[in-house]
Amino acid sequence: AKVVEHTFHVGNITTRKMCQERTIIAVNGSLPGPTILVNEGDTLIVHVLNKSPYDVTIHWHGIFQLFSGWADGPEFATQCPIKPGHKYTYKFKVTKQEGTLWWHAHTSYMRATVYGALIIRPRIGRKYPFPKPYREVPIMIGEWWNANVMDVERIGMSTGGVPNISDAYSINGRLGDLYPCSKKHTYKLKVTPGKTYLLRIINAALNSQHFFKIANHKFTIVAIDASYAEPYRTSVVVIAPGQTVDVLMETNQPMADYYMAARPYNSAAVAGPFSDDTTTTGIVHYIGGPTKNSTAKMPILPALNDTATAHKFYTNLTGLTTSRFFVPVPRHPDEKMFITFGLGISVCGTPNGCINSPFGPMISFAASMNNHSFELPTSTSMLEAFANGVKGVYTEDFPDHPPLKFDYTKANLSSSLWMTEKNTRVKKVKFNSIVEIVLQNTALLTPENHPMHLHGFNFHVLAQGFGNYNNNKDRKKFNFFNPQERNTIAVPTGGWVVIRFRANNPGVWMMHCHLDVHMPLGLAMAFVVENGPTLSTRLPPPPADLPRC
């Protein structure tokens, strides 16, 4: 195992998009930022220098951070932000996982432009559990705003909690042929005919799940969220923000150009006010074939609200039991939680005073888990509070159940369920406890699907379905044999998912909706995992350069 070292300069760059020069925050001058490549077992060191005018932190999405919780990155959860002009060095070992992950800013909307791929190959001498691909290609789906994204969030939050929707989507930072003034810069993948390519697909979009296809080509899914999957053949990939999907693709088609394309999947099916329903494209060019883009074939993508296709894809994925990192489902949960979540309403306060709210000056959108809207502390990070035993930063009373049982699939319920309370409640669990969670989507205000992401752990997805979770009936559907393992799960609209994980890593671990529009509304909570009994199962002391609040 080796040490891989990078330096990230976070700062302003100008880029031409949608017919105008725009200033954005980016890492090392590029969008996406640098791809990090490691072998499993390596130590990764990244020096982050903040030359931007905003606070920043970087999160290594999906990395276990075993006994390195100080490097996880969410602002005010595991560290105070890196202030403009300051720096912080993230240092951690990448172990017990292989495949595709990514990194992104974990401060406000900044991850719209501050993100990149993090690829973990097997150790030298070890093989993939599938034939060695000819080439490996990261495909990052992104989301683009013409306005400054930091303003988009700030203004949206101060006026009732609905930031403006995006203006475009992108593939590897490029918008593609269908957007104004973008054709010249369309992403092009040049392929050699008769080979197998490994596409490492990452959804880095802020607020939209996506369908992804390449005309004429089929995929074999081999991994999701850096966890190997039983090979699964499909012509469409469905991917929620935060998720990754590794696919093998054979270049076995006639010598020509083929479009790759991504467009959103939005179960609520209200394009317009709530989501941008446009399509981003790239081109797969067969080397030696004709070079006229105009003849390239376009794939037919599912409709915006094609829940059947999305559900089929999401539920057909299973784990690869023969993989070297396959973890059998832990039996006998120590903690059983039932967590409802969705959109609601709250009374405006500071810092989200909502003067121009569409609901009037006192009311704004909110989102909650078990009827609590999560608020990050600002005086110190939760992890520092945990390590130093500081009281008053969070409370350990996040409830195991919602306050009431009701029909979670219906709107217009008692306003006591919409009016959420803002606070910083965590769920404390013992080291190594097995946690089972029923994640139940609610439709109090409007039905939506929420990609739920857990920091620090992969979880097994035991079952998923629509409607209200029914313990007697649905427990029989649990897959204990080869469930998919993920770090982000798209909980279906008006539906539920049951997950299970072993809390084998002390520290503070966020669980939140990976739609950035729902995070500041409070669709988040955190687990505090206590230290283990031995020195080697304790959280080490913080690094000396940990940023101060």
Nearer to ligand C2O, 285 or 512 (CB): 512
Tell me: does residue 61 bind ligand C2O (CB under 6 A).
Answer: yes
Nearer to ligand C2O, 17 or 106 (CB): 106
Q: Say whether 535 sits in a helix, a strand or coil.
A: helix
How distant, in Å, are the alpha carbons of 349, 351, 359, 473 from that of 158?
10, 8, 13, 44
CA 145 from centroid of its chain's CA atoms: 19
Q: How many residues bind ligand C2O (CB under 6 A)?
A: 11
| Stretch of 129-137, 217-225, 508-516, 526-534 contacting ligand C2O, by CB under 6 A | 508-516
Tokens (6 digits) for 496:
């539920």
Residue from 104, 372, 460, 486 in contact with ligand C2O (CB under 6 A) = 104
How distant, in Å, are the alpha carbons of 271, 393, 421 from that of 424?
33, 8, 10
Residue from 11, 32, 33, 74 in contact with ligand C2O (CB under 6 A) = 74
| Torsion 18-23-29-35 (CA) sign | negative
Residue 332 one-letter amino acid: H
| Stretch of 83-91, 395-403, 421-429, 507-515 contacting ligand C2O, by CB under 6 A | 507-515
| Stretch of 27-35, 284-292, 426-434, 506-514 contacting ligand C2O, by CB under 6 A | 506-514
Residue 102 CB, shortest distance to ligand C2O, in Å, is: 8
Q: Residue 293 phi/psi, 5° resolution?
A: -60, -30
| Torsion 96-101-103-107 (CA) sign | negative
CA–CA separation, 534 and 101 (whole Å): 30
Tell me: does residue 453 bind ligand C2O (CB under 6 A).
Answer: yes
Nearer to ligand C2O, 225 or 277 (CB): 225
Tell me: does residue 486 bind ligand C2O (CB under 6 A).
Answer: no
| Binding residues among 509-528 for ligand C2O as defined by CB under 6 A | 510, 512, 514
Contact (Cβ atoms closer than 8 angstroms) between residue 387 and residue 367? no
Query: What is the number of alpha carbons within 13 Å of residue 510 lying toward its C-beta?
Result: 30
Residue 512 CB, shortest distance to ligand C2O, in Å, is: 6
Name the residue with tokens 């990052």.
140
Residue number with the shortest CB distance to ligand C2O?
61
Residue from 17, 455, 486, 518 in contact with ligand C2O (CB under 6 A) = 455
How distant, in Å, are the alpha carbons of 65, 197, 205, 295, 506 from that of 301?
37, 21, 18, 18, 43
Q: How many residues does the chain have?
A: 549
Residue from 242, 299, 447, 520 in contact with ligand C2O (CB under 6 A) = 242
Nearer to ligand C2O, 104 or 518 (CB): 104
Residue 458 CB, shortest distance to ligand C2O, in Å, is: 14
CA–CA separation, 32 and 164 (whole Å): 22
Tokens (6 digits) for 166:
């995006």
Nearer to ligand C2O, 387 or 510 (CB): 510
Residue from 40, 54, 57, 59 in contact with ligand C2O (CB under 6 A) = 59
Helix and strand numbers, DSSP H then E, in the chain:
5, 32
Residue 368 CB, shortest distance to ligand C2O, in Å, is: 17
Please give the residue ranges that form the binding site for ligand C2O (CB under 6 A). Answer: 59, 61, 74, 104, 106, 242, 453, 455, 510, 512, 514
